[in-house]
């Protein structure tokens, strides 16, 4: 039934934006935890661990997220594991996040001076203690701006899960448009909602970048 874009539709869009946020948060949490393991494994003294994680990053970064999504939804279903769309979507996005943040954080860890490792090792700290108390606190400062920048990308990239019929913001926009045929109104509204989510994050990223530059110049 065709009707014009109304308050109901707007509320539907806002509710669906909730799923966009949920997907972003889950992918950030799960993918972030994985990324921490990956970044440390990338710098491990074990060659196999180092190479395996390097390969993982190359592969995941080298294929469209859409393929990861198809594989975790249609692929796993074909293999007998029938995941609900929202779970498959979260899985795919988490994998995507883990490869990118894993690489960003690896770089941040490596940018801490080698002498910090030597000084802390000479004080008889274990490798875990070196990471926990000396290296990671210094890497966080370096990693924060690009991490927030990447998460802004992630918010927008969650839109691809509309393909496997998860109703997040983009998919909701399509549905509303199908019943209103007012694409300008609908998609401008959708765009504005994305902007409202992303703009503060972009600002935060820029602020953090400036702050870390001040720190370096001091």
Partner 1 sequence: MSIVTVDNVRKRFGDNEVLKGVSMQVEAGQVVALLGRSGSGKSTLLRCLNGLEVIDEGRIEVAGHAMDYETSRLRELRKDVGIVFQSYNLFPHLSVAQNIMLAPGLVKGVDKSRGRALAAKVLDRIGLLDKLDAYPDNLSGGQQQRVAIARALAMEPRVMLFDEVTSALDPELTEEVLAVIEQLARDGMTMLLVTHEMNFARRVADTIVFMHEGKIWESGEPEAMFTRPQTREFEQFASRNVK
Task: Please report, as ranges, the residues that interact with partner 1 according to CB under 8 A.
Answer: 113, 115-116, 118-127, 129, 133-134, 137-138, 141, 218
Identity of the residue, 141 or 156, whose beta carbon is nearer to partner 1 in the bound complex:
141
Rounded CA separation 123/91 (Å)? 41
Identity of the residue, 18 or 137, whose beta carbon is nearer to partner 1 in the bound complex:
137
Pick from 172, 176, 146: nearest CA to 159: 172
Q: Minimum CB separation from partner 1 for residue 35, in Å? A: 21
Q: Minimum CB separation from partner 1 for residue 138, in Å? A: 6
Identity of the residue, 70 or 117, whose beta carbon is nearer to partner 1 in the bound complex:
117
| Residue 139 structure tokens | 């890497």
Length of the chain: 218
Q: Minimum CB separation from partner 1 for residue 216, in Å? A: 11
Rounded CA separation 147/164 (Å)? 27
Identity of the residue, 3 or 211, whose beta carbon is nearer to partner 1 in the bound complex:
211
Q: Minimum CB separation from partner 1 for residue 32, in Å? A: 21
Contact 183/4 with Cβ under 8 angstroms?
A: no
Identity of the residue, 129 or 209, whose beta carbon is nearer to partner 1 in the bound complex:
129
Q: Minimum CB separation from partner 1 for residue 122, in Å? A: 5
Identity of the residue, 24 or 120, whose beta carbon is nearer to partner 1 in the bound complex:
120
Rounded CA separation 61/103 (Å)? 10
Q: Minimum CB separation from partner 1 for residue 137, in Å? A: 5
The beta strands (E) that lie in 64-212 are given as none
Q: 167-193 in b/e burial notation, b at 16+ Cβ within 10 A? A: bbbbbbbebbbeebebeebbeebbeeb
> 127 burial class (0-12, 13-18, 19+ CB within 10 angstroms)?
middle
């Amino acid at each position: 039934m065709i009707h014009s874009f109304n308050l109901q539709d707007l509320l539907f869009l806002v509710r669906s934006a909730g799923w966009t946020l949920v997907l972003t948060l889950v992918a950030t949490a799960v993918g972030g935890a994985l990324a921490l393991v990956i970044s440390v494994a990338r710098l491990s003294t074990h060659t196999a661990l180092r190479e395996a994680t390097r390969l993982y990053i190359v592969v995941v970064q080298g294929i469209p997220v859409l393929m990861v999504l198809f594989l975790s939804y249609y692929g796993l279903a074909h293999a007998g594991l029938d995941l609900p769309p929202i779970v498959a979507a979260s899985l795919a996005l988490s994998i995507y996040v883990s490869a990118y943040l894993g690489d960003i954080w690896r770089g941040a860890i490596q940018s801490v001076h080698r002498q910090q490792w030597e000084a802390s090792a000479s004080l008889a700290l274990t490798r875990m203690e070196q990471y926990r108390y000396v290296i990671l606190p210094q890497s966080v400062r370096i990693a924060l701006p690009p991490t927030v920048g990447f998460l802004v990308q992630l918010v927008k990239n969650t839109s691809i899960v509309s393909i496997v019929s998860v109703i997040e913001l983009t998919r909701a926009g399509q549905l509303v448009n199908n019943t209103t045929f007012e694409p300008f109104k609908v998609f401008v509204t959708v765009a504005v909602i994305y902007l409202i989510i992303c703009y503060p994050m972009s600002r935060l990223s820029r602020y953090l970048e400036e702050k870390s530059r001040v720190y370096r110049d001091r």
